[in-house]
Structure formats: structure tokens, C-alpha cells
A and B are shown apart, each in its own frame.
Chain A
């Protein structure tokens, strides 16, 4: 149980392109989803938290207009990197948490490796 699917697993695109990453909870309802960014040999950095049907809460230093997050249903959240540039190249990972009390563990997708040329 608690499977999170992330798509695509990797993407290469030209500078200036917008890229959408999907995160789906396959066998549970994700009341909260989280988006992380991970640089090589480093830990996960939280970018934003989103609750279904609400606007995402962004961490300090994360541009909300650059990283658009939509959590329109209990099983799907999307992260759109707008007008991506080489410095946006990274490993992006989503996680999802079920339940209404916030007392469940977070389960992660397998990440999306984004390379901007």
C-alpha cells in the first residue's frame, strides 16, 4: 500500500520551456502533498506543501511564480517549472500523506530528473 507515482521520471528540454511534473497517489487519498528538490549528494529540500483544494504554501526562497503547484484532487498534484533555465536542473521528488489529522508518514514518488539545456 501507499504507492506514489511520479511522471515523467526524467525530462530534457531547452531553456525557456515550461515543464509539468505529475504526482499521483495510487492507493490512498493524499490530503497533503509535498514537493522537494534534491541536489547531488545532498538531502531533500522542501519546496512547498499543498493541501487538496487549497493554495500551496511555499518555503522561504522558493518562487511561487516559477514553481506552480496545483493539487486539484485527492490523488493528483502537479508541479510546473515555468520558463525553466539550466539552474533549475535538479531532481524533483513529490511525497504524499493521507489522513485528516496529519499523523501519517509521507510516502515518496521515484522523482523526476530535470535537465535544462
Chain B
């Protein structure tokens, strides 16, 4: 089966601070990565993606960094807002054309 999370790490940040959510992926051949945001009772929402030929990509208030040497992916959220509170999943595509495999997720809590 696919990756299943056994626990849900939590990150608490103060409103206005920057958040960094980390993800270790498993397959050195993975070529495409996506960060998803999942709010309670909803499906995952696409945030930003990056392909393996890049090491950094920026969106609006979000930056994704990819370190292929150590198989590490991070999502940086600038000036975190209450609406950013959610569970964040990284997803890796292990081979071209295949489905994405999801990491265990990290719950982000934004403190007022």
C-alpha cells in the first residue's frame, strides 16, 4: 500500500511569523513534488509544486525548497495568518505518470 501516517506532527507559530514545514521523501528517483493544504473536513488543496530539476520555487507567500541530496522538501509560509491553520501534506511522484504518494502530514496551528 501507499504511505500511511501513524502520527501527526504539529507546528505552532505566532501569527505574523514565518512557518517552515519539513518533509522527508523516500525515493531518490522521485521527480515531481507537490504541497497540499487540507482544512478540516475538506479535501487537499494544491498550494505549490516543484520538479526535480529545480531546488526552489516561489509563490504568493509560499516558497518550496528541494534538497535532492538528502531527500528533503520544505514549505515556507511568510507572515503566517490564522487562515493558514490546516494540515499540510507533501506528495512525491515516484515515477513519471504515476500517482502521488503522500507523506504523513503536519498540522500547522497559528496562535493569535
Chain A min CB distance to B21 (Å): 14
Given contacts A34-B99, A110-B43, A111-B41, contact A105 B1 (CB under 8 A): no
A103 to B51 alpha-carbon distance, docked (Å)? 10
Chain B min CB distance to A69 (Å): 14
Chain B CB within 10 A, most for which of A41, A42, A43: A43
A106 to B105 alpha-carbon distance, docked (Å)? 17
Tell me if B43 and A41 are in contact (CB < 8 A).
no
Look across to chain B and name the residue whose beta carbon is closest to the beta carbon of A60. Answer: B1
Check A46 for interface membership: any CB of B closer than 8 A.
Answer: yes
Given contacts A43-B105, A44-B89, A105-B49, contact A110 B4 (CB under 8 A): no
Given contacts A43-B105, A108-B36, contact A93 B43 (CB under 8 A): yes
Tell me if B99 and A108 are in contact (CB < 8 A).
no
A4 to B32 alpha-carbon distance, docked (Å)? 21
In-complex Cβ contact of B89 among A6, A43, A107, A113 (8 A): A43
Check A98 for interface membership: any CB of B closer than 8 A.
Answer: no
Tell me if B2 and A102 are in contact (CB < 8 A).
no
Q: List 22 A-B contacts (CB under 8 A).
A: A4-B43, A41-B5, A42-B5, A42-B8, A43-B3, A43-B5, A43-B102, A43-B105, A44-B2, A45-B2, A46-B1, A46-B2, A46-B101, A93-B43, A93-B44, A102-B96, A106-B34, A106-B91, A108-B36, A108-B43, A109-B43, A110-B41
Shortest Cβ-Cβ A-B pairs, 3 listed: A102-B97, A108-B43, A43-B5
